[in-house]
Structure 1
Amino acid sequence: MLALLFKNFIRSKGTKIGLLFLICVGFVSLLIGKQFQDKQQNNIKEAVSYQKEHIARNAEYHKDEIGPLLYYIKFSLVNKTFPINSLAIGQRDVNPSIQNVTIRGLEGQKYDAELNNPNNLLSGNIDFSFVLIYLFPLLIIAFSYNVISEEVESGTWKIVSTQSKNIFLYILQLFFVRILTLIGLLSILLFTAALFLQIPLDKAFFAFYGLGILYLLFWFSICFFIVSLQKHSNFNAVILLTIWLFLIVILPAGINAYIVNRYKVPEALELTLKQRNAYHEKWDMDKTATMEKFYKHYPQFRTCKLDEKAEFTWLWYYAMQQMGDDESAEQSKELESKLQQRNHFSEVIAQFIPTLHTQIQLNEIAKSDLKNQLLFLNETSKFHEKLRLHFYPKIFDNAPVAEQKWDNYKIETFSDTTQINFTKAFLPLLLFILLLIGFGWRNFNTKAFF
């Protein structure tokens, strides 16, 4: 029976066109993922080459004094891009994966981003997660909305019902054929991606795969419930498309607007200006007051005394830079806190919205979510502090430039080691699937079949 149902389903022109369309779009999404992957790899190669050349050139030009040399030199920190990130680009298309910082004020550098066409950012990337979240459900709706009603409306349902020993089992088989077809298509695309994008078949890949299967089952369970109401095909199609529009577009947009208004984030530009103003005003202030604040922050450098007779010293200059960061620290913590609150609220509310939950979890598995970006910014602060503590003694003692082993300063990489929580990722979808199937089963058992 299943083989016959499958042949009947796959022979339909609509089925063939729908599957072919999704395969084509799926492969396009993999090509976009490949372009993104290549771009990230090229950026890292260029960063390695640039830092080496940049340091060598400046060391050659500023031979006499290390203070002005370190004013210009930039050091790079890379947010590691995992191959699976190509399937769910997430935050990586708007936030840089490489931070280039000097040892000057951090807050003025921390939120620098790559120049991008705003129209491209608005439309976003058609990555695989987009195909899975937005397009697969449409095909599921197209395949399932008239599972029974089409035969009722064509007059063949009575023949089917009289020939079938168990009508409910027959309906389950109709859904099973469609589920098997779509999961097969998802499997083909994902395992092709694993080969094409060189994604290792590790825990992250199978978490992504498992979440994708559960997401498809969620939409099939919605269709199963709507079909169980035993309405006409037009009614089913309209209701299912309304649900798609509500869950995919309207509800996430509304929640995003609510989060943005509830957790208003201070502008990164405002924070940068605060840091720069705090630094610039120190030029007109008493040097002693600036140095006392600096010594309070770094008591280990109190032995480095300021030359009162000198109009300018690098000790005083970098103390001013440090004060710019210190005086904007409160705004910086506020920004980080509000972003953390946004992320936490999104995760909590998404547990009750399967589409949003799936998108957030796919990004989290791919290490392209907001949490990853916040961890990277925090690591950037640690990286910058490490550079300062390493170079401050050399600047204050005016260590000879030629004696420094500049070739040893390589770019560093931050790797997000956050573990995948399978319960957190799978449980909300499982509960919704069981709930919808339960209601659908009840409808089929309490109502006469047409």
Structure 2
Amino acid sequence: MKRILSIEFKNIFRNNAFRIGVLVVFLFGLYGIYYGNRVIEEQKENISRIEHLENESIEHILHIAGAENTAGTDIYYMIFHTYNPPSGWAAFSLGQRDILNYNIKTKILALEGQIYDNELTNPLSLLVGNLDLSFVFIYLFPLLIIALGFSLISEEKETGVWSMIKISGVPTLSFVFYKIFARWLIMVSLVIILMIVAALVFRAGFGAVFFAILGISIFYVSFWFAVVWLINSLNKNSTYNAILSVGIWIVLCLMFPALGNTIITATTPVHEAMETTLIQREAYHEKWDKPKSVTMNKFYQEYPEYKKYKIPEEKYYVAGWYYAMQYVADKEAEPTSKQMEQKLMERQHKAETLGMFLPTVGVQRMYNTLVNTDLEAHMRYLASVRKHHKAVREFFYPYIFEETLTKNTPWEKRPKYQPPAESADISWKSLFVGLLYSLLLVFIGIKLTKKI
């Protein structure tokens, strides 16, 4: 049988179409590595400048501030930066990092409207987009596997080789297995080579994430070889096999994910981003026409320590009241904001369920979760933005209510932003179910192959 494997390798590498196909996919893989790395390096460069930009901006405001300006006056113009740093393997699968804002700039005004200037996208709507390395693995590798394996049996039958094999006494099942195994080894080797190149280019190392991605990718390659085996075992001609193989690729990689996206979007509509912004803005604007005490009483429920500061009703503008108004407007928009987050997570869970039935969706989700480029990673970032916004507000409230002069306010002691922690807590259900599918396909393929 080793001789069969050796002969099969020779036959494969003599095939010009095979060499061209492997070279094209390999070049696409290299481009995917380059593209993903370029996007992430640009983001890293932008993030590296954030602290300097924030300090420079605040220093400029303080430089031009009037001698009698108070903290409440000048803090209105100050921008406090937050950022979502990419993980070491983010370039492998960009996910939503190039769509969702990784650098939200906030003032200590109402936060919800500032956060939702950027729409949070359905996790399935971005499955086909970036030509990063994960795209190459998920969409192009199956095409190469199909090209290598759609006619394993039919071609041998059409050339008369199959009859000779049966006469020679070579077990046909072993013959088919080694033909598939030879091609599987080549594709797995290609995955390993590209992953090693990616690890070196990304400077991400060969840790747990590397081996997790590698394992998922090898599983995915194996699934498509199981599909190819089943197609060959149907004992049809090469034309039929080619059409069926490409049809399955279109259904699994394009049609069903798109249909799933449509169903999830229709069953879980998310209108709350705009609604949250409108509620917050309306709550803010209407308070200009109400007694200041109405706003302050709501503010005091959370911050009773500021009751000692007088807010004169007759004055048109009072800094303490103005920033209290911003806070109260945020609180009134909070239920809608939480409802939106719940719907987004509901979409995420539905996408996870879909991934259990569609290996393409399941593998993409696992990739994105491992490298922290999924929607949940962005939600963790938004939570860190809210935490930082609260810390900055509460730090400056005493100086605002005291009407401390700008020049006497300790701006340099303001809270520093702490980015969210990475998480690789993924659900392996999709992989387990996909493994069962693969074993089932192989089992059926073996049964049918024995009958040929």
Separation (CA, whole Å) in 2 of partners of 1:256 and 1:141: 26
Separation (CA, whole Å) in 2 of partners of 1:83 and 1:277: 42
CA separation of 1:342 and 1:325: change in aligned 2, threshold 3 A: same
CA separation of 1:33 and 1:351: change in aligned 2, threshold 3 A: same
Separation (CA, whole Å) in 2 of partners of 1:419 and 1:198: 19
Separation (CA, whole Å) in 2 of partners of 1:209 and 1:301: 56
Match of 1:8 among 11, 16, 21: 11
The answer to whether the 8 A contact 1:78-1:411 is kept is no
Q: Where do residues 37-436 of structure 1 align in structure 2 (5 Å cutoff)?
A: 37-62=40-65, 64-113=69-118, 124-409=129-414, 412-421=417-426, 423-424=428-429, 426-436=431-441
The answer to whether the 8 A contact 1:101-1:384 is kept is yes
What is the DSSP-based 3-state SS (H/G/I as helix, E as strand, rest coil) of the residue aligned with 2:104? strand
Separation (CA, whole Å) in 2 of partners of 1:109 and 1:203: 36
CA separation of 1:279 and 1:85: change in aligned 2, threshold 3 A: same
The one-letter code sitting in structure 2 at the alignment partner of 1:378 is A
The one-letter code sitting in structure 2 at the alignment partner of 1:112 is D
Count of residue correspondences:
441
CA separation of 1:421 and 1:261: change in aligned 2, threshold 3 A: closer
1:409 Cα deviation (Å)? Answer: 4.5
The answer to whether the 8 A contact 1:164-1:170 is kept is no
CA RMSD across the alignment: 1.9
| Structure 2 residue 18 is matched with structure 1 residue 28 | no
Separation (CA, whole Å) in 2 of partners of 1:31 and 1:419: 24
1:267 Cα deviation (Å)? Answer: 4.8
The one-letter code sitting in structure 1 at the alignment partner of 2:349 is H
1:122 Cα deviation (Å)? Answer: 11
Separation (CA, whole Å) in 2 of partners of 1:437 and 1:302: 73
The answer to whether the 8 A contact 1:278-1:324 is kept is yes
The answer to whether the 8 A contact 1:80-1:413 is kept is no
**Structure 2: any 5+ residue segments left out of the alignment?**
120-125
The one-letter code sitting in structure 2 at the alignment partner of 1:34 is N
The answer to whether the 8 A contact 1:95-1:113 is kept is yes
1:42 Cα deviation (Å)? Answer: 1.4
CA separation of 1:339 and 1:423: change in aligned 2, threshold 3 A: closer
1:260 Cα deviation (Å)? Answer: 0.6
After superposition, the C-alpha distances for 1:226-267 in whole angstroms (9 at most, x for unaligned) are: 111111111111111111100111101111111111111015
The answer to whether the 8 A contact 2:272-2:336 is kept is no
The answer to whether the 8 A contact 1:51-1:411 is kept is no
**Structure 1: any 5+ residue segments left out of the alignment?**
115-120
Q: Specify the alignment match of 2:122 in structure 1.
A: none
1:396 Cα deviation (Å)? Answer: 0.8
The one-letter code sitting in structure 1 at the alignment partner of 2:81 is S
The answer to whether the 8 A contact 1:207-1:422 is kept is no
CA separation of 1:45 and 1:153: change in aligned 2, threshold 3 A: same
Separation (CA, whole Å) in 2 of partners of 1:370 and 1:439: 37
Moved more, 10-19 or 153-162: 153-162
The answer to whether the 8 A contact 2:50-2:81 is kept is yes
The one-letter code sitting in structure 1 at the alignment partner of 2:40 is Q
Separation (CA, whole Å) in 1 of partners of 2:76 and 2:427: 47
1:309 Cα deviation (Å)? Answer: 4.3
| Structure 2 residue 23 is matched with structure 1 residue 17 | no
Separation (CA, whole Å) in 1 of partners of 2:445 and 2:333: 57
The one-letter code sitting in structure 2 at the alignment partner of 1:273 is L
CA separation of 1:425 and 1:405: change in aligned 2, threshold 3 A: farther
Separation (CA, whole Å) in 2 of partners of 1:377 and 1:183: 38
The one-letter code sitting in structure 2 at the alignment partner of 1:81 is P
After superposition, the C-alpha distances for 1:69-110 in whole angstroms (9 at most, x for unaligned) are: 211111112112012110100111110111111110001101
What is the DSSP-based 3-state SS (H/G/I as helix, E as strand, rest coil) of the residue aligned with 2:111? coil
What is the DSSP-based 3-state SS (H/G/I as helix, E as strand, rest coil) of the residue aligned with 2:97? helix
What is the DSSP-based 3-state SS (H/G/I as helix, E as strand, rest coil) of the residue aligned with 2:82? strand
What is the DSSP-based 3-state SS (H/G/I as helix, E as strand, rest coil) of the residue aligned with 2:90? helix
Moved more, 416-425 or 173-182: 416-425
Separation (CA, whole Å) in 1 of partners of 2:169 and 2:318: 93
TM-score (ref. length: structure 1): 0.94
1:165 Cα deviation (Å)? Answer: 2.7
Moved more, 424-433 or 343-352: 424-433
CA separation of 1:425 and 1:78: change in aligned 2, threshold 3 A: farther
The answer to whether the 8 A contact 1:145-1:237 is kept is yes
The one-letter code sitting in structure 2 at the alignment partner of 1:165 is V
Q: Specify the alignment match of 1:117 in structure 2.
A: none
Separation (CA, whole Å) in 2 of partners of 1:163 and 1:399: 97
TM-score (ref. length: structure 2): 0.93
1:424 Cα deviation (Å)? Answer: 3.5
